[in-house]
C-alpha cells in the first residue's frame, strides 16, 4: 500500500516537471536613467552630502573610485530628490521607510524593463515562462519585487518565483 502511494506521488511530481536539464533562456538588464561617470562621482557625492570641506577624505575617496573599475554609477535618486528629502542622507527611520517605498515601486518597474528585453531575445510569449528569478540589492520586503513583476509582465499566477534580496553587488 505504501509503495502505491509513493508511486503516485512520484508520477505526479514527474508530470509537473520538464524532461532534461534546466536552462536560462533569457537574461535582461536595466538601469535607472540617472547616472554619473565614475570620475565625477566624488565631486557629486561630496556636494550632495554637503561634505566638500573634508578634502582629505575626498582625495582618498577619489583614489578608491579610480581603482574600482567602474565606468558609470546608476541611481534612482537624483540630486533634486536628495535636496528635497535631506533625511535620505542622514538615515533617519522615516527616511528609510520613504526610500524603501520608492524602491518598492521602482525595482519591479526596472525588472519588468529588463525582463521584457530578455523575453524578446527568447522569442516566445511571456505566458510560456515557468520560473522567474529576481535578484536585487535594493530591497528586502514581503511580498517582494518578484510578485509585482509577475503582474507587470502578465505571467501566470503559478509561475515558480525565487527572490534573491539584498545580495549586494552579486545581484
Domain boundaries, the chain: 33-75, 92-170
Enzyme catalytic residues: 169
pLDDT for position 49: 86
Distance in angstroms (rounded) separating the CA atoms of residues 6 and 29: 43
The answer to pTM > 0.85 is no
Residue 122 grid coordinates: 527568447
In the chain, what is the straight-line distance between the N-terminal and C-terminal CA atoms, in Å? 47
Distance in angstroms (rounded) separating the CA atoms of residues 85 and 30: 25
Architecture of domain 92-170: 3-Layer(aba) Sandwich (3.40)
pLDDT for position 19: 67
Model confidence over 43-83: pLDDT tens digits? 999 998 888 888 889 989 999 999 988 899 988 888 888 88
Lowest mean pLDDT among 9-23, 95-109, 111-125: 9-23
User: Which phi and psi angles does 113 have, rounded to 5°?
Assistant: -65, -45
Distance in angstroms (rounded) separating the CA atoms of residues 137 and 107: 10
Amino acid at each position: 500500500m505504501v509503495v502505491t502511494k509513493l508511486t503516485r506521488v512520484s508520477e505526479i511530481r514527474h508530470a509537473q516537471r520538464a524532461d532534461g536539464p534546466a536552462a536560462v533562456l533569457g537574461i535582461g538588464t536595466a538601469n535607472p536613467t540617472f547616472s554619473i561617470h565614475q570620475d565625477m562621482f566624488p565631486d557629486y557625492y561630496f556636494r550632495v552630502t554637503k561634505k566638500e570641506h573634508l578634502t582629505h577624505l575626498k582625495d582618498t575617496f577619489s583614489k578608491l573610485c579610480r581603482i574600482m573599475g567602474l565606468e558609470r554609477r546608476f541611481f534612482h535618486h537624483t540630486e533634486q530628490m536628495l535636496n528635497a528629502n535631506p533625511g535620505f542622507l542622514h538615515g533617519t527611520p522615516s527616511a528609510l521607510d520613504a526610500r524603501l517605498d520608492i524602491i518598492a515601486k521602482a525595482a519591479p518597474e526596472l525588472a519588468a524593463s529588463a525582463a521584457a528585453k530578455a523575453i524578446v531575445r527568447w522569442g516566445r510569449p511571456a505566458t510560456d515562462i515557468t520560473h522567474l528569478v529576481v535578484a536585487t540589492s535594493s530591497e528586502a520586503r514581503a511580498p517582494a519585487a518578484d510578485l509585482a513583476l509577475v503582474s507587470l509582465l502578465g505571467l501566470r499566477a503559478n509561475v515558480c518565483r525565487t527572490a534573491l534580496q539584498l545580495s549586494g553587488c552579486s545581484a
